[in-house]
């Protein structure tokens, strides 16, 4: 009996069972024990949702995975587009009285509310997870001890952060339920290894308006040098339910988009008043202090040395006529990062994409047979590292052999957009969607575009996809603040042929301006050569050319002292003025 048939046999009076990609912490990255969607369907992407009905398997994925999903799911699976034909529409078309079973730990309170509003005739029934019941060899949940970051890297102690957040909470509620592990990691200055590519421990917390913190994590997992300060209690994770029940009559601040529906239902059943709002750690975590930014700067210099060594090595083997495959290239890049001090792990699965594979923005060579470098064409590598000091994310597109005039032309348009956003100056209160045009304008002028966001937030030794800040077409109403870190990553993709992306991380700084409004700008954190062999100089304005050459002068000045021998010589040539 297949897993799907096993689930169907357990439906009973249910019409379907829901399997989100998310686990009880609603994260993008999951421990192996919680990869339920992959276990049932075979689909290994980072976003999706499945529904097992009595007749068949349905799965919803976004545009990044429409090709991948077809090769991974069982024959007969009905594939839907996550955004064009969302699962909420499917629920709305179910017969009146349909019963959909689900584990409400794995669905956010906001998502469940929207489904119920859109399909009032459907009963969403919480129950013990049917997937776990069909998974006898399920991996063990993480249990390793975490580690602490000192104030020298975080700038503030746990006690200072708690007192600052308490003032925010007191304006709205008596206590806040903080459900996201990265928010608790930032608040406590604790990190861990529970989730691949994201150094956190899976924990939740209740922070009161007085600054008292109840932390739900196995106390044996806390490092000996953890400095949580006074007024912190540590509870076993299974005690969370009892502590929520004890909040009867109190106002509890909840971010419904980041909190499991189960936990919000528990608060409602306990008689607490649920106050919807923003996770109080979200903005302070995103708007990093000067100490955190300095740590991020050092992180990127180490990472810049590692990636520059890789690019030097890559040019060398291509010159020898060698054409390794995408997996070997990713492994070689990882080896240079591993040699850097305080390196922990990748910040996401490396996108090592040769030729036509680079036309898939979120390509993963692990989902098939890794391709070899082409004799002539482009190689795109999007990668990042987690260091104790910070998190990196960089994309470089590299010329392999001969490249066409059209590829150079399109690469230069992408570069112009990257420079346009990188040079932006904007007044206080500006939001990310208001800057997105700057990165797309050169492409739009010629009728081109790309179908992903231009910039996402990045944490400090935390999530490489950190909210709430974002630069993209969709409205994002969180104002850009000093200390926020963004990616700057316009691109171009020709399906079946090639892909181009140029990505740096930048931080937000205050800028000098003569007017009466506060002005901000972006400062590069990433210092790695951009392949000038792909640049059509005639398309660059004097200002853009000046930016390009000034950037490479800074790369040489900052990264050069960290390299020697052949790598140093390569860097000098790569950074020579265009």
Contact 231, 212 (CB under 8 A): yes
Q: Is the pLDDT of residue 217 over 80?
A: yes
Tell me the backbone φ, ψ of residue 501, rounded to 5 degrees: -150, 140
What DSSP letter does each residue of 254-318 carry, written as one string? E-TTSSBHHHHHHHHHHT-EEEE---TTHHHHHS--HHHHHHHHHHHHHHHHHHHHHHHHHHHHH
User: Percent of the chain, pLDDT > 90?
Assistant: 95
Per-residue pLDDT tens digits for 101-153:
999 999 999 999 999 999 999 999 999 999 999 999 999 999 999 999 999 99
Model confidence at 64, pLDDT cuts 50, 70, 90, reads: confident
Q: Residue 372: how many CB atoms within 10 A of its CB? A: 15
Give SS3 for 144: coil
Q: What is the mean pLDDT of residues 384-392?
A: 98
**Mean confidence (pLDDT) of the chain:** 96
pLDDT at site 62: 86
Task: Write down how long the chain is.
Answer: 578
Q: Which long-range contacts (CB under 8 A, 24 or more apart) does 266-272 make?
A: 266/241, 267/177, 269/245, 270/244, 270/245, 270/246, 272/244, 272/247, 272/248
Spatial distance between the Cα atoms of 354 and 497, rounded to a whole number of angstroms = 10
What DSSP letter does each residue of 435-495 carry, written as one string? THHHHHHHHHTTT---SS-SEEE--SSS-SSEEEEEESSS---SBP-TT-EEEE--EEEET
Q: Is the pLDDT of residue 356 over 90?
A: yes
Model confidence at 223, pLDDT cuts 50, 70, 90, reads: very high
Q: What is the mean pLDDT of residues 285-295?
A: 98
pLDDT at site 66: 80
β-pair type (175-178, 251-254) = parallel
Model confidence at 353, pLDDT cuts 50, 70, 90, reads: very high
Q: Do domains 147-285 and 287-574 have the same CATH topology?
A: no
Spatial distance between the Cα atoms of 66 and 62, rounded to a whole number of angstroms = 7
pLDDT at site 429: 97
Six-digit token string for 391: 């998190």
pLDDT at site 46: 86
Per-residue pLDDT tens digits for 452-475:
999 999 999 999 999 999 999 999
pLDDT at site 367: 82
Architecture of domain 3-133: 3-Layer(aba) Sandwich (3.40)
Contact 455, 422 (CB under 8 A): no
**For the domain with range 147-285, which CATH number is right: 3.40.50.300, 2.170.150.70, 3.40.350.10, 3.30.1360.10?**
3.40.350.10
Residue ranges with strand state E in 495-540: 498-501, 504-511, 519-524
- Could you tell me the residue ranges of all domains in the chain? 3-133, 147-285, 287-574
pLDDT at site 345: 98
Contact 256, 108 (CB under 8 A): yes
pLDDT at site 439: 98
Q: What is the mean pLDDT of residues 257-276?
A: 98
**Nearby residues of 483 by Cβ (< 8 Å), 6 or more positions away:** 286, 287, 288, 289, 290, 292, 293, 507, 508
CA 571 to chain centre: 30
Model confidence at 90, pLDDT cuts 50, 70, 90, reads: very high
Nearest to 264 by CA among 253, 278, 279, 250: 253
End-to-end CA distance of the chain: 63
Nearest to 141 by CA among 48, 14, 237: 237
CATH T-level assignment (fold) for domain 287-574: Creatine Amidinohydrolase (3.90.230)
19-34 burial: b if 16+ Cβ within 10 Å, else e: bbbbbbbbbebbbebb
Q: Is the pLDDT of residue 63 over 80?
A: no
pLDDT at site 383: 98
**Exposed / middle / buried, residue 92 (Cβ in 10 Å: 0-12, 13-18, 19+):** middle
pLDDT at site 278: 97
Q: Is the pLDDT of residue 547 over 80?
A: yes
Spatial distance between the Cα atoms of 509 and 257, rounded to a whole number of angstroms = 29
pLDDT at site 71: 87
β-pair type (485-488, 504-511) = antiparallel
Spatial distance between the Cα atoms of 474 and 165, rounded to a whole number of angstroms = 29
Radius of gyration of the chain (CA): 24
Q: What is the mean pLDDT of residues 29-52?
A: 95
């Amino acid at each position: 009996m297949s897993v799907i048939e096993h689930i169907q046999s357990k439906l009973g009076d249910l019409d379907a069972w829901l399997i989100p990609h998310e686990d009880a912490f609603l994260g993008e990255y999951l421990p192996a024990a919680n990869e339920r969607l992959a276990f049932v369907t075979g689909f290994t992407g980072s976003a999706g949702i499945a529904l097992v009905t009595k007749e068949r398997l349905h799965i919803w994925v976004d545009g990044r995975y429409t090709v991948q999903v077809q090769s991974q799911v069982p024959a007969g699976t009905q594939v839907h587009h996550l955004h064009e034909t969302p699962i909420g529409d499917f629920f709305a078309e179910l017969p009146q009285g349909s019963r959909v079973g689900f584990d409400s730990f794995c669905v956010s309170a906001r998502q469940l509310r929207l489904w119920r509003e859109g399909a009032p005739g459907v009963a969403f029934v919480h129950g013990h997870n049917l997937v776990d019941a069909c998974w006898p060899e399920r991996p063990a949940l993480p249990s390793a001890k975490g580690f602490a970051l000192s104030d020298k890297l975080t700038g503030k102690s746990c006690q200072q952060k708690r007192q600052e957040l308490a003032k925010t909470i007191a304006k709205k509620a008596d206590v806040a339920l903080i459900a996201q592990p990265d928010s608790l990691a930032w608040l406590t200055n604790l990190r861990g290894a529970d989730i691949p590519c994201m150094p956190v421990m899976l924990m939740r917390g209740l922070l009161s308006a007085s600054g008292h913190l109840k932390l739900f994590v196995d106390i044996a997992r806390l490092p000996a040098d953890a400095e949580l300060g006074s007024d912190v209690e540590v509870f076993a994770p299974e005690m969370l339910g009892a502590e929520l029940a004890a909040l009867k009559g109190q106002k509890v601040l909840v971010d419904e988009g980041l909190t499991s529906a189960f936990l919000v239902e528990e608060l409602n059943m306990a008689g607490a008043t649920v106050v919807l709002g923003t996770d109080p750690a979200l903005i302070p975590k995103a708007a990093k202090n000067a100490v955190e930014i300095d740590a991020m700067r050092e992180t990127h210099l180490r990472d810049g040395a590692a990636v520059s060594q890789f690019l030097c090595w890559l040019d060398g083997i291509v010159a020898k006529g060698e054409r390794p495959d995408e997996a070997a290239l990713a492994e070689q890049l990882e080896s240079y990062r591993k040699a850097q001090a305080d390196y922990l792990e990748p910040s996401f699965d490396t996108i090592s994409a040769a030729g036509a594979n680079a036309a898939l923005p979120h390509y993963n060579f692990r989902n098939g047979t890794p391709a070899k470098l082409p004799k002539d064409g482009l190689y795109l590598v999007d990668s990042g590292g987690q260091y104790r000091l910070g998190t990196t994310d960089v994309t470089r597109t590299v010329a392999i052999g001969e490249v066409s005039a059209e590829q150079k032309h399109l690469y230069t348009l992408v570069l112009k957009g990257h420079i346009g956003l990188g040079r932006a100056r904007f007044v206080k209160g500006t939001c990310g969607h208001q800057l997105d045009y700057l990165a797309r304008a050169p492409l739009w002028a010629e009728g081109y575009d790309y179908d992903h966001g231009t910039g996402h937030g990045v944490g400090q030794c935390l999530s490489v996809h950190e909210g709430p800040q974002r630069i993209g077409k969709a409205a994002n109403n969180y104002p850009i603040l000093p200390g926020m870190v963004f990616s700057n990553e316009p691109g171009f993709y020709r399906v079946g042929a090639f892909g181009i992306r140029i990505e740096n991380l930048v931080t937000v700084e205050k800028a000098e301006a003569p007017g009466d409004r506060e002005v901000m700008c972006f400062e590069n954190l990433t210092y790695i050569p951009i392949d000038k062999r792909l640049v059509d100089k005639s398309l660059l304005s004097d200002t853009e050319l000046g930016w390009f050459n000034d950037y490479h002068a800074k790369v040489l000045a900052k990264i050069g002292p960290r390299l020697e021998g052949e790598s140093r010589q390569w860097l000098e040539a790569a950074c020579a003025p265009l």
